[in-house]
Structure 1
Amino acid sequence: MTDLNDLRDVTALKERIAAELAAVRDRSLAYTDADDETLLRQHSPLMSPLVWDLAHVGNYEELWVLREVGGVTPLRPEIDDIYDAFKTPRKDRPSLPMLAPDEARRYISGVRGRVLDVLDAVDLDDSDPLRAGGFVFGLVLQHEHQHDETMLATLQLSRQPGLVRDGALPPGRSPNLSAAPEVHIPGGVFTMGTGTVPWAYDNERPAYRVHLPDYWIDRYPVTNGAYAAFVEDGGYRDPQWWVPRGWEWVERAGVEAPLFWTKDGGEWWRIRFGREEQVPEDEPVQHVSWYEADAYARWAGKRLPTEAEWEKACGGRLYPWGDAQPGLEQANLGHHAARPAPVGAYPGGASPYGVEQLVGDVWEWTDSWFQPYPGYRSFPYKEYSEVFFGETYRVLRGGSWATHPSAVRTTFRNWDHPIRRQIFSGFRCARSES
């Protein structure tokens, strides 16, 4: 298998890109293999109808591969505004004249056929930054996988059973029987971000040097069992653990537990893709907002790590375990199962410091706002990163069980509003050296 981060063999790279394009399209079609009513309905004002996401990935591919790189005459210019993510908020998209499901499938299929023609003809050694190393194909591949994860979040919000496959995961190792629950990270200078990963986004660049003092970070993400203790201790009823805006949100929204949790007969239950089940104590908690993660950390006498602390804990590699592509022994990525794995399930994915499950399972909230790195330059368009910079969005790291391996790495930065919890988000804690 060609490493998508090794772009020296152009022929092998083109073959691999073609295979990855086929795989991601199979994934998109699988998540939209439902009746028209399910695809057209808006299951939450936070999300688009599934059929909007389906046509959007094709329109994005047309804009960047066919028009920008291939010079192809626009196929459906009249739909550009409909599928421009910045023209219409998600809550208003059901009112748009969207393509019907069958029409959307025909449209994206026609786009894809022409994309493969462009791939055959394009010079990946061209100095143009969109063509060089196949960057534009990496752009559309990652974009579609990101929308596939969004589709999974929408399917979870639909609460309809039978739409999402599940699978087996390795067993965990009890934190009480394995290594110490916290890992000490020595202070010093490390390189944050990247200047070498060919398909990295603009917000991951450029690499720069950061000095951090000594700190401690949790070996594993916070589990459901640990988080339940916070809930049982009245964590959602005590404002001392919450930042003011977080406490306002708790009171306004009536939040009492992670999204999809309910209590019955003294036990915590959850809805997972339309199925009701007991909350497994040993899985990383997911569907929590930044406010909830921050409140738990305060209650536990800790704090959330900064994104620099999170990245340093990965050990300065493409992945915590090294530069080898993720496999089944390293991380829970790519929807092998529709849930996080128990903590301790992936000792082979530990970082050089011994921190585990940094990649996969749940996106991990950090204490950092989404800000540009020193020397940042927008590419290929400012709407991907630049318009979101400031003190509005908090950074998440590491990917989730729903994230495809090609769409995550130790330098990858995700971001969202601190109230969002429909995403597959969890966290781990840190503390300063005392």
Structure 2
Amino acid sequence: MTDDLRLSIAADLERARARTVLLTDAVDDDDLTRQHSPLMSPLVWDLAHVGNQEELWLVRDVGGRDPLRQDIDELYDAFKHSRRDRPGLPLLDPAEARAYTAQVRDKVFDVLDRTRFGPESRLLDGGFAFGMIVQHEQQHDETMLATHQLRAGAPVLTAPPPPRARQAVSGEVLIEAGRFTMGTDTEPWALDNERPAHPVDVPAFWIDTALITNGDYLAFMDAGGYDDPRWWSERGWAHRQSSGLEAPLHWIRDSGGWLHRRFGRVTPVAPDEPVVHVCYFEAEAYAAWAGKRLPTEAEWEKAARWDPSAGRSRRYPWGDDPPEARHANLGQRHLGPAPAGAYPDGASPQGVHQLIGDVWEWTSSGFHGYPGFAAFPYREYSEVFFGGDYRVLRGGSFGTDTAACRGTFRNWDHPIRRQIFSGFRCARDA
């Protein structure tokens, strides 16, 4: 069992690194060191930061080895320097960053070979520390993918198109009132904000079977949704006016309709694809216009995990098996969301589709710890963000890796953010 775990961890580490290499080798050194948006770090900062976190946790902490580059710890501490300020730091250049991360990884594999896993150490139980680092790198890979989307210039990333719709999906389904288990105590690589498992009573509600599509959102726009303050919260309307919002990010008005720019390619907006790059306030306004609201985090998780026939919460909407290509649009296999109805094998027992993958889904809930929350292994991963001006997003996107996505996984961001791969579905009271 330990050997199987070791091999599985090694494969996950290698998959994450292959993606990091793909995203950083795709551009020249100038693009690597340039800041493509003040919202994002230079790609070369993410590259060395991935290596530095791996050194801190796996080489020094788990392995007990001497530091490789203690002198750069502060440069790559995400809490020491804002993203806006990172280009002005004395960062490792691309060649140095690549050499450093490769040196760290060599030592990590040596540590992995010598590590004994077991419940005696929370960091090592189930390979948690290694899983945390795998997820950390994959999360930065998704961040770097978002940076590629903000980058100007010719396309450098390629991927096959997502599958077409396999069945028509529309309308909404009723989720009956009742208690379900939210969060987890059993997922070995679950992060602290997903724990502990706890019962939650959820009143009956209706939830959309499909994500809101571009076609749905265009109807809101054509009805004057961006110009009517009735649909916007007070904060949302103020932001819509101050930021001049009139369409999702990366949309371009054309004489024949709307185009969008995706990773350097400009194409017509596909009406059956989930809308992406909308902020919380835009999602909230659409829901109000549609006579609905955004789901709470608990409603979203119940729709995604609760199996009424078995009377228990699943790991994923389709069951407990890890995601396969037939279940969900994950892992950067495609460079955009798939049409509604493209993944019927990934639907929940009640018939809610594409809850995992495609786009992160805004919920109406703020970010906080669950009852009994305990920070582990450090406060800065989750606890310092509790109670701030954040909204929880669920479900992952086409850029989220399977290692960093499950029915309990929680993401969070400011309600004005649109550079992330964010979309939504609606709900309403029963």
Q: TM-score if structure 2 supplies the norm length?
A: 0.97
Matched-pair contact (CA < 8 Å) for 1:31–1:163: no
- Which residue, 7, 18, 24 being the options, matches 2:10? 18
Partner residue, 1:293: 283
SS at match of 2:365: strand
Q: How many residues align?
A: 422
- Which residue, 106, 113, 120 being the options, matches 1:113? 106
Residue 423 of structure 2 is aligned to residue 426 of structure 1: yes
Over aligned residues, Cα RMSD in angstroms? 0.9
**Which whole-Å CA distance do the structure 2 matches of 1:90 and 1:246 have between them?**
25
**Which whole-Å CA distance do the structure 2 matches of 1:271 and 1:212 have between them?**
40
Shift of 1:334: 0.6
* Corresponding letter in the other structure for 2:48: A
- Farther off after superposition, 229-238 or 303-312: 229-238
* Corresponding letter in the other structure for 1:17: I
Partner residue, 1:225: 215
Matched-pair contact (CA < 8 Å) for 1:171–1:342: yes
Q: TM-score if structure 1 supplies the norm length?
A: 0.96
- Which residue, 75, 89, 101 being the options, matches 1:96? 89
Describe how 1:260-339 pairs up with structure 2 within 5 A: 260-314=250-304, 315=306, 316-339=313-336
Partner residue, 2:310: none
SS at match of 2:384: helix
**Which whole-Å CA distance do the structure 2 matches of 1:170 and 1:272 have between them?**
17
Deviations 1:223-262 (A, max 9, x none): 0010011111111111111111111111111110000001
**Which whole-Å CA distance do the structure 2 matches of 1:260 and 1:342 have between them?**
19
Shift of 1:173: 4.7
**Which whole-Å CA distance do the structure 2 matches of 1:255 and 1:39 have between them?**
30
**Which whole-Å CA distance do the structure 1 matches of 2:204 and 2:119 have between them?**
44
Deviations 1:81-122 (A, max 9, x none): 000000000000000111000110000000000001110111
**Which whole-Å CA distance do the structure 2 matches of 1:173 and 1:28 have between them?**
32
Residue 82 of structure 2 is aligned to residue 85 of structure 1: no
Describe how 1:33-432 pairs up with structure 2 within 5 A: 33=25, 34-173=27-166, 175=168, 178=169, 181-314=171-304, 315=306, 316-432=313-429
Q: Is there any run of 5+ residues in structure 2 with no aligned partner, and where? A: 307-312
Shift of 1:162: 2.4
1:198 and 1:81, CA in 2 relative to 1: closer, same or farther beyond 3 A? same
Shift of 1:169: 2.0
User: What percent of counterpart residues are identical?
Assistant: 59
Q: Is there any run of 5+ residues in structure 1 with no aligned partner, and where? A: 1-8
Shift of 1:23: 1.2
Moved over 4 A (4+): none
Matched-pair contact (CA < 8 Å) for 2:279–2:417: yes
Deviations 1:103-150 (A, max 9, x none): 100000000000011101111125111111110000000000000000
**Which whole-Å CA distance do the structure 1 matches of 2:193 and 2:322 have between them?**
22
SS at match of 1:134: helix
* Corresponding letter in the other structure for 1:146: Q
Matched-pair contact (CA < 8 Å) for 2:367–2:392: yes
Shift of 1:174: 6.2
**Which whole-Å CA distance do the structure 2 matches of 1:159 and 1:174 have between them?**
36
SS at match of 2:207: strand
